[in-house]
Homo-oligomer: A and B are copies of this chain.
Amino acid sequence: MDRPLRLITANPLDRLARTLEALLVVASAPLSVAELAAAADDHAERVETALGLLGERFREGRSGIVLEHVAGGYAFRASREASDACGRLFERPVERGLSAAALETLAVIAYLGPCSRPDIARLRGVAADSVVAGLVERGLIAEAGREEAGAVRYRTTALFERVFGLESLSELPRLDDLGEPDDLRTRLEAVASHRPA
């Protein structure tokens, strides 16, 4: 005896929300609405509504598990309240000890889009080989095809967005808005102004 109507009366959105919880707790990377909808075998709009419910339940201050929208998808993370406890148990292998050179290289790739090592060397004025290799090893950048001249190009990864807490690359401030005098110029100008005429 089939009673298909019963499913609808039993608040199916709640069941969908539980399914999404299950998917998010075992996923190894943020899941997009489309991926969640495909796995849950449900409609994207309903998934979004259910994610709204979960965002309410899993938020800072209310839960140790926090739902965040990051790297183009949704993922669970630890609440900030528990960061000391997490710090005692877990390393931060990805971002620990990122050098200034590594950050500049990441900035070049994140802002300018896929770049080759010669591109990066040209912009930064120093060879980029070892820095690029280090960033690939950390999983913050990955190969993205070759340019015409044959050099491998690199792009930032979803892990990069995750580590820097970005919903997407478009969340980065526009490069045109940057460009205040940098340290080097400031120092040179300071030197010039202090030098007795």
Bound complex: CA A140 to CA B38 (Å): 29
Number of interface residues, chain A, beta carbon within 8 A: 32
Q: When the two chains form their complex, are residues B38 and A82 in contact, meaning their CB atoms are under 8 A apart?
A: no
Q: Which residue of B lies closest to A31 (CB)?
A: B89
Question: Given known contacts A64-B21, A65-B21, is B89 in contact with A39 (CB within 8 Å)?
Answer: yes
Q: Produce 1/0 per residue, A1-38, CB < 8 A to B.
A: 00000000000000101111111011100010001001
Which of B31, B40, B86 touches A23 (beta carbons < 8 Å)? B86
Overall SS of chain A's interface: helix
Instruction: Judge whether A182 is part of the interface by a CB distance below 8 angstroms.
Output: no
Chain B residues within an 8 Å CB radius of A41: 84-85, 88
How distant is the Cα of A62 from the Cα of B29 in the complex, in angstroms?
A: 25
When chains A and B are docked, how far (Å) is the Cα of A21 from the Cα of B61?
12
Assess whether A63 is interfacial by the CB under 8 Å rule.
yes
Pairwise interchain contact B65-A19, C-beta atoms closer than 8 A: no
Interface 9-residue window, one of A73-81, A122-130, A164-172: A73-81
Residues of B within 8 A of A84 (CB): 41
With the chains together, A26 CA to B31 CA distance in Å? 16
List of B residues within 8 angstroms of A38 by Cβ? 88-89
A31 proximity list for chain B (CB < 8 A): 89
Report the minimal beta-carbon distance from A7 to chain B, rounded to whole angstroms. Answer: 12
Q: Give Cα distance in the complex from A20 to B79, angstroms.
A: 10
Knowing A17-B64, A27-B89, A64-B17 touch, does A78 contact B39 (C-beta < 8 A)?
no
Do B63 and A21 touch across chains, with their CB atoms under 8 A apart?
yes
User: A22: shortest Cβ distance to chain B, in Å?
Assistant: 3
Nearest-CB distance from A35 to chain B (Å)? 7
Determine if B89 and A18 form an interchain contact, defined as CB atoms under 8 angstroms apart.
Answer: no
Measured CB to CB, the closest approach of chain B to A13, in angstroms, equals: 13
